[in-house]
Amino acid sequence: MSNSSPVVLAMKFDGERKNSAFPDGLGARRVIDLNTDTDILEIINGARYAVLWKPKAELFKRLPDLEVIFSAGAGVDHLLQSPGLPDLPIVRFVDHTLTTRMSEWICLQCLMHLRQQRVYDGLQRKHSWQELPQPEASEITVGIMGMGVLGQDAARKLRMLGFRVNGWSRSGKQIDGIGCFDQSGLNAFLSKTDFLVGLLPLTPETKGIFNRTVFAKLKRNSELASPVFINAGRGGSQKEDDIVACLRDGTLGGVSLDVFESEPLAADSPLWDFEQAILTPHAAATSDVFALGKHVGEQISRYERGEKLQYLVDRNSGY
Ligand code: NDP
Ligand code: OXD
């Protein structure tokens, strides 16, 4: 087959930006955007590549010549749960633009909780001049669950800010300046953690992992009253009823959540109303459309030169 195969897009993103930026990143290759090219026939013959985000069930039947599936994001749970997913290589999105954004969000949340910014916001609204205790970052241990591309970058940047940092992952790691724990070390890891950061993919093993049992094991003798939970991995890994109950009874002193069990978060969720809860709408690290196009173009070029694809998903482990 020639290398002139179009790239089929079925993904989120603001239309105008996607139409200009994505093809730019891709070079000369033709793009068929299923959200805007409404005259496209049901069956798209000759399309070897597709870039997808939460694909509709019938999509794969329309792409009989598909050879490589690209995830429009770093996470692939949206694909692996997709009915009719063919047994083809899946490449996830890894790029410094996404990694950098995520680390910015994680560092921001850790600093917001360290400096008790939400409490100051409340005092400001009351015109109240009151100074709060001010521990240094070096007195706080951030424990990151998920030490992949995103977890490791966030860990290094948190270290630069002065936090003590530990990481927990399936396989143990060795990273300078970071305490590393493998799966068997979960309890020891939790007992040292003041700020728990979730950067795990959603898999059958990580579903609901952030629950009361885990929160109750966090360290609670730091200068800040209670531990903090920060999650930007996937909402399916957290039990929101437990988070609400733990915020109410002080098991958790604060949370920052970018992801939710069901998105968008229901307007009547009690999470919206906690002063000590910082919520963002799955926006911690949105894929940059130009960078995504470039990444897809590079991987297609590798594939067509007969080289190995990078960032391949392991279907057995689910990420
Ligand atoms: P990686 O695949 O690079 O890293 C995943 C990490 O999780 C690895 O360290 C892996 O361990 C660990 N892990 C997976 N399963 C388990 C388990 N059962 N027990 C212990 N550790 C486990 O992913 P990324 O860092 O690139 O991304 C992480 C997630 O962040 C994505 O899957 C996605 O869900 C989410 N995300 C959210 C965004 C947002 O805007 N909110 C944006 C981008 C991503 P090991 O190293 O041993 O394999
Ligand atoms: C991703 C995301 O997985 O945006 O990239 O959540």
Predicted pLDDT at 57: 82
For the stretch 78-104, pLDDT in tens is 999 999 999 999 999 999 999 999 999
Residue with token string 């939400």: 118
Where does the pLDDT of residue 213 fall: very low under 50, low under 70, confident under 90, or very high at 90 and above? very high
What separation in Å is there between the alpha carbon of 302 and the centre of ligand 1? 25
Q: Whose CA is nearest to atom 5 of ligand 2?
A: 73
Q: Is 303 helix (H, G, I), strand (E, B) or coil?
A: helix
Mutate to test the pocket of ligand 2, among 286, 292, 295 (most ligand atoms within 8 A of CB): 286
| Ligand 2 centroid – CA 233 distance (Å) | 8
Q: Which atom of ligand 1 is nearest to 319's Cα?
A: 2
Tokens 């999105």 label which residue? 93
What are the tokens at 270? 């009690």
Query: HEC profile for 38-101?
Result: CCCCCCCCCCCEEEECCCCCCHHHHCCCCCEEEECCCCCHHHHCCCCCCCCCEECCCCHHHHHH
Spatial separation of the C-alpha atoms in residues 313 and 46, rounded to whole Å: 24
For residue 180, the cross-strand partners are: 167
Distance CA 10, CA 283 (A): 19
Helix axes 289-304, 15-26, angle to 10 degrees: 30
Rounded to 5 degrees, what angle do the CA atoms 291, 288, 314 make? 75
Share of the chain above pLDDT 90, in %: 86
Q: Give yes or no for residue 157 having a pLDDT over 90.
A: yes
Nearest CA to ligand 1 atom 1: 148
